Amino acid sequence: MRKDIHPKAYTTGVVCSTCGTVWDVRSSRENLRVDICSNCHPFFTGEQRIVDTAGQVDRFMKRLANSQERQADQQRRKAKAEEPPEKKKSLLKEIYGDEA
């Protein structure tokens, strides 16, 4: 067999950048880093946590709030338009009061 054809194997740790968990593994790379791991991923933990990348969640929440506000405003206007107009008093009652 030929010598020196296999890469060097390092004993290193995989670091999760979200929660900071470290696992010891053997790898051909010295430093390994992951964005999210099984200790903090919502699928495995069962809790709902939003991992925001580049403000996408904030932008979505703003758009959602604006659209809900617009819908509520439209419903208010529609309800106001459907109300019957207020009846005016007759001219006689305005002039003579309830006597007429």
Q: What is the domain-level CATH number for residue 26?
A: 4.10.80.400
Which residue is it, tokens 């290193």?
A: 12
pLDDT band at 52 (very low <50, low <70, confident <90, very high): low
pLDDT tier for residue 63 given thresholds of 50, 70 and 90? very high
Mark whether 38 and 7 lie in a shared domain: yes
Range of the domain at 38: 1-49
Q: Does residue 87 sit within a domain?
A: no
Overall number of domains in the chain: 2
Tell me: do 8 and 40 sit in the same domain: yes
67-99, pLDDT tens digit by residue?
999 999 999 999 888 888 777 778 888 788 776
Give exposure, 31-70, as e/b (b: 16+ Cβ within 10 Å): eeeeebbeebeeeeeeeeeeeeeeeeeeeeeeeeeeeeee
